[in-house]
Structure 1
């Protein structure tokens, strides 16, 4: 397969995987409690990732001097944010949830300014302000329609994005050089057992009531979303530029919104759909390299 075809195939795969993940989480919630469902997801993905790490001869454990980050990654990168995501989807549509998560590049950029002393270009500052204002308008508009329950879901997703972005930036700073499978395999597997313990303590689990649809959704999240999404996006980052890879964050929410509309009949208001245009333009500007404007000039 030539490089262009590989890049396009990986790009489409990432967009489809990320776009369908949100509906799968919504489907899993129909009969499985959110924390237990997330634990099952990582119990499945952790085993697959461990096997892949062994096959590709990558270490299972973090290197000496960085092992304290193992527990931090397990809790703060996997267990907590992903539980907040699926918990929040009990109160908002999968389309709106994906739209909030699409602002991950904005959150990472803001955290990078704080922890990595990242200096933003003028076009990035303009894009950041545009994206933040647009997202606030969309969330305000949706809350006015759906009320207090919507606020709970938005808050959960907001915290999930913030926590995910903070750990992502800190790991970039302190855990550079750890292979991707090492970083994901054992921490996600450990997160599964932590979530099982928390679920037993706080959730009512009735295994006999689990439907085939919900179990299939969890299996999809474990194998396709967690393993396939990780491998495809990592490979995409190797064969494309960071700007090209970041465009996935503009495409997958559209797929999630279309699925939510088609399957569940849930759709954002017309005002919110229109405000998505400046939101996506703002996100695009934050990831656009400076040389793009120099070339145009």
Structure 2
């Protein structure tokens, strides 16, 4: 029941953050918005660990991994994904991000030596075909100046960086580092790193933005960062990166529904086909062969029992 609750919370929050990000674009530089987001999140995390009196002393090696976590899960990945949403609707960006599932599996193999099941190859192929279908109109007119293709490449790049961050989180869990402590250090380092990047790019620390910007910022910092990451990393720790990745199958459904309602996202034939293939591919990747066989065996028995003698 605990894992189910964590799944539901993570799916609903992360599925809705893609729409919230749309309100962060345009008025204030992306790197500044991310600095505000993770500064607020870091403050909340440190208040939490202080109240709970959690141990926060770690080795230099651990701090090195906290910095990697900040870079991959709380910094560079978001910077690139925010850039991607300048070219894509929240629905398309979220579907492209669902490729995190496959990247997590491949990286788990590379970094932790976990074998890749045969079904994953077919599921990956179906998922890739789905992505191609989604962006087929743009691929027909292949041009890197095409906004949608630029957005897709940025979304996939940000997704890959996020997958590396997931591997860092798995490593931290294996070293018995608490989820909240790791996130607190990671978000602090992220805020510091983003501030340095703001100074390098000479972006303005502006506070001139509509109310919708600040409402979405608070939502992204509190729910989308502090709560959602705590839930997701808890899932990574409790059940492993493959099973925890079920959230990646589900949250695009939330994102697409919200984009359809609030962004006027238009469904076309290639959209239906591509979205369906991505979901099916992810489901195949995550469902063990034994479960698939058991499902069809049970279905066959039910059909036979329903036939009158």
Report the TM range for the smaller structure's normalisation: 0.7 to 0.9
Once the two structures are TM-superposed, the CA of residue 109 in structure 1 deviates from its matched residue by: 0.9
1:40-62 per-residue CA deviation (whole Å, 9 max, x = no partner) reads 11001111111222233333354
Residues 1:107 and 2:103 aligned together: yes
Distance 1:19 1:226 in 2: 13
Determine the structure 2 residue equivalent to 1:70: 66
What does residue range 130-169 of structure 1 map to in structure 2 within 5 Å? 130-142=126-138, 148-169=146-167
Q: Are the equivalent residues in 1 in contact too, given 2:101–2:242 (CA < 8 A)?
A: no
Distance 1:288 1:200 in 2: 46
Determine the structure 1 residue equivalent to 2:183: 184
Q: Are the equivalent residues in 2 in contact too, given 1:18–1:225 (CA < 8 A)?
A: yes
What does residue range 1-297 of structure 1 map to in structure 2 within 5 Å? 3=1, 7-63=3-59, 65-142=61-138, 148-173=146-171, 176=174, 177-202=176-201, 204-205=203-204, 207-235=206-234, 245-293=244-292, 295-296=294-295
Where structure 2 has 5 or more consecutive residues not aligned to the other structure, the ranges are 298-309
Distance 1:228 1:168 in 2: 16
1:96-152 per-residue CA deviation (whole Å, 9 max, x = no partner) reads 111111121111112223333332222222112211222233233455589711122
Distance 1:102 1:30 in 2: 25
Task: Please identify, of 194-203 and 76-85, the stretch whose mean Cα deviation from structure 2 is larger.
Answer: 194-203
Task: Please identify, of 147-156 and 63-72, the stretch whose mean Cα deviation from structure 2 is larger.
Answer: 63-72
Alpha-carbon spacing, 1:76–1:141, altered in 2? closer, same or farther (3 Å): same
Which SS does the other structure have where 1:28 is aligned?
A: coil
Alpha-carbon spacing, 1:99–1:295, altered in 2? closer, same or farther (3 Å): same
Matched residues, number: 293
Alpha-carbon spacing, 1:129–1:223, altered in 2? closer, same or farther (3 Å): same
Which of structures 1 and 2 has the bigger CA Rg? 2
Taking structure 1 as the reference length, the TM-score comes to 0.87
Alpha-carbon spacing, 1:254–1:228, altered in 2? closer, same or farther (3 Å): same
Which SS does the other structure have where 1:207 is aligned?
A: coil
Which SS does the other structure have where 2:133 is aligned?
A: helix
Task: Please identify, of 75-84 and 263-272, the stretch whose mean Cα deviation from structure 2 is larger.
Answer: 263-272
Once the two structures are TM-superposed, the CA of residue 257 in structure 1 deviates from its matched residue by: 1.3
Once the two structures are TM-superposed, the CA of residue 231 in structure 1 deviates from its matched residue by: 2.7
Taking structure 2 as the reference length, the TM-score comes to 0.84
Alpha-carbon spacing, 1:61–1:24, altered in 2? closer, same or farther (3 Å): farther
Alpha-carbon spacing, 1:61–1:168, altered in 2? closer, same or farther (3 Å): farther
Q: Are the equivalent residues in 2 in contact too, given 1:115–1:170 (CA < 8 A)?
A: no
Distance 1:141 1:110 in 2: 29
Once the two structures are TM-superposed, the CA of residue 166 in structure 1 deviates from its matched residue by: 2.2
Q: Are the equivalent residues in 1 in contact too, given 2:103–2:163 (CA < 8 A)?
A: yes
Alpha-carbon spacing, 1:48–1:208, altered in 2? closer, same or farther (3 Å): closer
**Cα RMSD after superposing both structures:** 2.7
Q: Are the equivalent residues in 2 in contact too, given 1:14–1:233 (CA < 8 A)?
A: yes
Distance 1:125 1:229 in 2: 29
Task: Please identify, of 245-254 and 33-42, the stretch whose mean Cα deviation from structure 2 is larger.
Answer: 245-254
